[in-house]
Amino acid sequence: MAILPILETPDPRLRQISKPVETFDDALRTLIADMFDTMYDAPGIGLAAIQVGVPQRVLVIDLQEPDPEDAEGKKVIRNPRIFINPVFSEQTEEHSVYQEGCLSVPEQYADVTRPAEITVDWQDEYGKPHRERMTGLMATCIQHEHDHLEGILFIDHLSRLKRDMVLKKLAKARKAA
Ligand code: ZN
């Protein structure tokens, strides 16, 4: 178990296209455990392997939604999900807008429009295939993470003006830090 350094834009490694996983071994499962440690520590709700410098088609997601039983709204329910070699189909015409952020574009947020629902085929850490219809925040999150496998960042979905604004704010925040 380890917390790995997260690559940040404009690191060119984030622009690589990740390769399919072919071997489902202990090394893969160690990478996944480390990715969860890194994501929870950041903290974030999703992480692609390339964000820790590994160009393989591996995503981890945990939306950590508030526990409805907790009146103060402080507790979250952990639901760690692993997606290897994810493939999308049957996306809806309908779109939804979420304010997105990314551990590789730290502390910057912007509205991104994506298909509201999508069917995902993937393999788990043992190579077993799965299929599920994703909706809501999960649909958005998995599309954001899947973009990383193609070398795409959420800021690429913004207008040039908005993207430049985000990058300027990021540069300013880095200077101040
Ligand atoms: Zn991201």
CA distance linking residue 29 with residue 35, whole number of Å: 10
- In this prediction, residue 173 has a pLDDT band, given cuts at 50, 70 and 90, of very high
Closest CA to 119 of 100, 104, 139: 139
Strands, E assignment, 37-156? 46-48, 58-61, 65-66, 76-77, 81-89, 95-102, 105-115, 118-123, 129-134
Tell me: the pLDDT tens digits for 67-94?
A: 888 888 788 899 999 999 999 999 898 9
Please state, rounded to an integer, the average pLDDT across all residues of the chain. 96
Q: Is 163 helix (H, G, I), strand (E, B) or coil?
A: helix
> For residue 146, how far is its CA from the centre of ligand 1 (angstroms)?
9
Counting residues of the chain whose pLDDT is more than 90, the rounded percentage is 90
Q: Which of 22, 90, 132, 145 is catalytic?
A: 145
- The pLDDT value recorded for residue 1 is 76
Cα 61 to ligand 1 centre (Å): 11
Q: Which residue has the tokens 């807008």?
A: 97
Q: Is 117 a catalytic residue?
A: no
Amino acid at 150: E
Confidence (pLDDT) at 46: 98
Which pair of structure tokens corresponds to residue 69? 């039983």
- For residue 44, the CA-to-ligand 1 centroid distance in Å is 9
- Closest C-alpha among 62, 63, 47, 134 to residue 96: 134
**What predicted TM-score, i.e. pTM, was given to this entire model?**
0.94
Write out the two tokens for 50.
């390339």
Q: Please report the pLDDT score of residue 74 as a whole number.
A: 82
